[in-house]
Structure 1
């Protein structure tokens, strides 16, 4: 069974056949009906008021808009290494494989050869900060960004968020006067507003297409934070990560996904969501999300009636984690959450999105209805743990850099409180040579027992260059404690 939806990915190592198709293009504009009567009828009685038709204004040529923004749209070239089983097929966002009964992306196994990938992106400042899709640069070993004027720069991946498919790059050795565009207000876009897409579909650089906003806040089941803009502007493989502009030249979305075997149905990550994530991606390299520790569902009219409530919108608490943030703050089963930190909650999905945009450890006001009576609770949010099929969010060391560096591994606190886990290992790195696969629990570094990723990172940084560091570990899926020798580069 195949999914009707597919992410906007360029299949690495696959040649796409290109078919040129002639298509009619135009704007359907109705002529206004005349409200003037012929001379002979001017004094005749009118049986009913005449409702004038609405004249839809049409934009002139889009060429000036294209010329003003296309210099900021870039081509993202990626060299990435993936497990052998993943080669040559389009990959699905987290959660789609399970939902549609498809084989999920491999999580490990033999590493295949380097794959070539192409995508799009756009500059958002003069010093070389680029936005693109996470799936464009995921597993990248090398990223090269080519500008519209032919200049090319190596790029570093500053941060990635797989759950919203957003990534931030920084061009290396770039001048500080690069063309760039601004993020606009996606919430201001209405269904029917004109939009413009620019990208590199099938490697055809700087291709332009136009259309309208077809729908807002689409949930396509790609992840828990879906709130896509839908557009009929043509987007294809290679457009991934490219901008969707309004007629003022502001980016109101990032083109991300299409519907397979359909025409004119594409989806873009809203600019307001990107804007809220950007500071954390730049600073931390990842997004740590707030967590209430509960399961919720939509409050329906039937459920409201069964609970004796006079409202029919909100998120009803169906189950609580026994020691989660919500339970500790006094939330109970059957509470109906109507507001979180000033944001109205109308559904379970709205609750997930609202809490996910808040930082862990922050204290927030949660408004609930309990047995029909309003109640406000102060909840200190936890950190959302990784769900099935997701990677752990890497921890940061005291200086704000990932705890991988010279040793080639990322660490994170285990969400079940079991200690420190190795969540990513670079092929060929000292951690790889020391046989520390992802999922390994670190129990001791040198002569220091470690319980948190911060303790482990500090102990690793303190190791003498050129030494051999003894580790006490627990392999993934095992209760046995083993020793490993980690070579510390000089």
Structure 2
């Protein structure tokens, strides 16, 4: 026999390591089948997920139902027409998966690798993090469970192994690497990314529809993330919810059925996006800039008071570098707890105390909730806009423009400090005094490059640059 070279022997050891991980983890991974009635909707829950539009069109078919002649059929029993993955997290038969996998399910069936199948019910849901916990009905006592690793200790470049049921191909194993940590601008603000309060692990392990809710594990077989979404066909770009966050939220869902978040009621931005503020705090590279304090938020009672252009650099002694980091830390504080913010106000360092409050399930709109049908209005980046009449422009002391009549609280515009009543005179340095000009400005806007708004507020001119936050 030919002798085995050291290089081949090393490759065999690596090969064996992957085999061992698959053998160890797969029994604790489950395939989740979801049933819904035909008349409920034209799309599966996954297709209604806010991140669904990030999938290329050719990937969306498996998540859409064939509605041909459905109107002529009487309502039928629930059909198992959606599928995802999950993992067993405790011996009592609780399953961690994605919220979008089981959203609005009438029946849920969970299949194990050994062939056993169980009905399951939802124990808790959290749409914001896209996590859910299921409870197996009649769970046996011999269930295998996954082991969680420390996602904070994950290093870029280490192996990442995905296990799940892509395209109904149960227990498919793919591997790659951890491509990045702390990804925050995964979903554009205009698609709901402004509401996200977490970051993601990025991996180039091959992930496809059906992998959602399954584990991303390291070479030791420990779960480092919950697979959540992909970006583009064959792009090698997938994202997973970090295990530490998933484990914390999962525990709350088991205990309470929901995850209660706190908030401070601040409009914020990354210091890296605020050149004017950077000049006020030389030496600071990262931080969170206060753009505005919401009138209905708990930060209105901060002591000492927070001001626009304050830079928050730590929450309860833990450094924050960007808005997603700040939101993640604040949201996990118990409502009613005192949050200590380390703030830099030009050359002055401050310690600011704010009592966190429970974040409303839906933050109310700022401004009118029912615009008059007689008014011609446009919608742009979370703002409802109306062209000023000649009389209104004269009263506002401008030649013409558009007024912000309504503002979505979690929009990119609100995050950058735009207020209801602001009169926008230019978009990207072009006048907007008519509906035609407004339509053209909206069509030509590119949030990735930045949208410049020139406006007046209380007779004073100002501007804002709207763009997706950098990662």
CA distance 1:244–1:97, shift in 2 (3 Å): closer
Aligned to 1:303: 276
Q: What secondary structure is seen at the aligned counterpart in 2 of 1:124?
A: strand
Rounded Cα–Cα distance in structure 2 between residues aligned with 1:112 and 1:260: 36
Q: Secondary structure at the match of 2:221?
A: coil
SS in 2 for 1:252: strand
Is 1:313 equivalent to 2:286 in the alignment? yes
Q: CA deviation at 1:253?
A: 0.8
Higher gyration radius (CA): 1
- 1:316 is displaced (CA, Å) by 1.1
- Counterpart for residue 63 of structure 1: 19
Deviation of 1:275 (Å) = 1.7
What is the DSSP-based 3-state SS (H/G/I as helix, E as strand, rest coil) of the residue aligned with 1:60? helix
Task: Tell whether the 8 Å contact from 1:126 to 1:176 is kept in structure 2 after alignment.
Answer: yes
Q: Deviations over 1:111-137 (max 9, x none)?
A: 986452111111111221111111111
Q: Identify the residue that residue 129 of structure 2 maps to in structure 1.
A: 164
CA separation of 1:57 and 1:369: change in aligned 2, threshold 3 A: farther
What pairs with 1:65-464 in structure 2 (closer than 5 Å)? 65-81=21-37, 86-87=42-43, 91=47, 93-94=49-50, 114-115=78-79, 116-219=81-184, 220-221=186-187, 222=193, 223-300=195-272, 302-329=275-302, 330-387=305-362
CA–CA separation in structure 2 for the residues paired with 1:243 and 1:149: 18
C-alpha distance in structure 2 between counterparts of 1:167 and 1:56, whole Å:
38
Consecutive unaligned residues of structure 1, counting only runs of 5 or more, are: 1-30, 32-54, 391-490
Q: Tell me how far apart the structure 1 counterparts of residues 120 and 223 of structure 2 sit (CA, whole Å).
A: 21
d(CA) in 1 for partners of 2:38 and 2:332? 30
CA distance in 2, matches of 1:339, 1:75: 41
State the alpha-carbon separation in 1 of the partners of residues 149 and 212 from structure 2.
19
Q: After superposition, what is the alpha-carbon deviation per residue over 1:369-392, rounded to whole angstroms, capped at 9, x for unaligned?
A: 1232111122110122234799xx
How far is 1:279 from its partner? Answer: 2.3
**Distance in 2, Cα, partners of 1:182 & 1:389:** 40
Cα distance 1:387–1:151, how it changes in 2: closer, same or farther (>3 A)? same
Contact 2:266–2:294 under 8 Å retained in 1: yes
Q: Is the 8 A contact 1:80 1:142 kept in 2?
A: yes
Structure that is richer in helix per residue = 2
Task: Give the secondary-structure state (helix, strand or coil) at the position aligned to 1:91.
Answer: helix
Q: Distance in 2 between matches of 1:335 and 1:309?
A: 13
Q: Which ranges in structure 2 are unaligned for 5 or more consecutive residues? A: 1-6, 57-62, 64-70, 188-192, 366-471
Which secondary structure state, in structure 2, belongs to the residue aligned with residue 276 of structure 1? helix
Residue deviations 1:278-298 (CA, integer Å, cap 9, x gap) = 222112211111100110111
Deviations 1:44-96, CA, capped at 9 Å, x for gaps: xxxxxxxxxxx999723221221111110111111135875542696254377
Instruction: Give the secondary-structure state (helix, strand or coil) at the position aligned to 1:263.
Output: coil
The 1:358–1:90 alpha-carbon spacing in structure 2 relative to 1, beyond 3 Å, is same
Q: Given the superposition, is the C-alpha separation of residues 78 and 291 from structure 1 closer, same or farther in structure 2, using an over 3 Å criterion?
A: same
Q: TM-score, normalised by structure 2?
A: 0.64
Equivalent pair of 2:45/2:102 in contact (CA under 8 Å): no
Residues 141-197 of structure 1 show CA distances to partners (whole Å, capped at 9, x for unaligned) of: 111111110111111211111111111111111122211111111122112111211
- Mapped to 1, the partners of 2:46 and 2:125 lie a distance apart of 19
Tell me the number of residue pairs that the alignment of Structure 1 and Structure 2 aligns: 329
Q: Distance in 1 between matches of 2:166 and 2:208?
A: 5
Alignment of 1:16-31 (within 5 A): none
| Secondary structure of 1:177's aligned partner | coil
**Partners of 1:242 and 1:255 within 8 A in 2:** yes
Structure 1 residues 389 and 338: alpha-carbon distance in aligned structure 2, compared to 1, 3 A threshold: same
For the 8 Å contact 2:46–2:101, the answer to whether it is kept is: no
TM-fit CA distance, 1:336: 1.2
RMSD: 3.1
Partner Cα separation in structure 2 for residue 134 and residue 263 of structure 1: 24
Distance of 2:255 and 2:32 partners within structure 1 = 22
